[in-house]
Amino acid sequence: MAVLPFFLAAWQWQRAQEKTELLRSLTSAIGVPPVSLIYREARPQPEFSRVALPGAHPAGPVLQLENSYLGEVKGRRMLQPWRLEDGAMALVDLGWLADGVALPAVDPQALTLRGHWMPLPRHFVLPGAVAGVEGRVDAIDMAALRQRYPGHWHQGVVVLEHSPDPLRHWPVLPEFMPERHYAYAAQWLLLGLLLLLSLHSLRRRSHEPRR
């Protein structure tokens, strides 16, 4: 029990480092004009750059990723496979929809096909969670997506900058800033030190001769 807080402190520190790198990538990408997303065999990991999808069109039905929160409001992220003008495939985030609101018919011609190229959403799921390629799911089954839609696939997801009503743009900036994770790491570290001091004090008392 005394060692556990140190593991949690290290985890929060790692999360802070990841968020710092994310913000650095976003800061350098926001002011750069979007470029066409073109598949390359040696393409690097998604780095939040601004991309455009000229000539792209939907290749399949929408996938609704459950348990996607904006603040404290529960909803779904609307993700859809699109085929680009060079024949490659990319997963496009059309926007976020609150639970209880029906998915509207989205006109592809009305979309502004610009966005940020980001990593895939990472969801913590329990046994029995539904992973799939369409409809309401708990996780994205990328292997099944690649099998259903053959061709080269871009890693990650393109989060559109503008979503049609009633969808809302999925925020690019993380909800938790690095400073918050550093603060949590410091709290866990302090708790671990206090537990070690308490343990040391108890051991000393147990070895003191009784009178």
Per-residue pLDDT of the chain (211 residues; tens, 9 = 90+): 667 787 788 888 887 777 777 777 666 666 678 889 888 776 677 778 889 999 999 999 999 999 999 888 999 999 999 999 999 999 999 999 999 999 888 999 999 999 999 889 877 777 888 999 999 999 999 999 999 999 999 999 999 999 999 999 998 766 556 677 678 788 888 888 888 888 877 777 776 665 5
Question: Measuring CA to CA, how many Å separate 166 from each of 104, 113, 161?
Answer: 8, 17, 15
Nearest Cα residue to 5 out of 193, 182, 179, 178: 193
**The predicted structure's pLDDT at residue 28:** 67
Nearest Cα residue to 92 out of 102, 106, 104: 106
**CA atoms within 13 A of residue 19's CA, in its CB half-sphere:** 16
Residues 159 and 57: their CA atoms lie apart, in Å, by 15
* Residues 62/91, Cβ–Cβ less than 8 Å: no
Nearest Cα residue to 137 out of 94, 77, 95, 93: 77
**The predicted structure's pLDDT at residue 29:** 66
**The predicted structure's pLDDT at residue 159:** 95
Place of tokens 């001091």: 197
**The predicted structure's pLDDT at residue 196:** 81
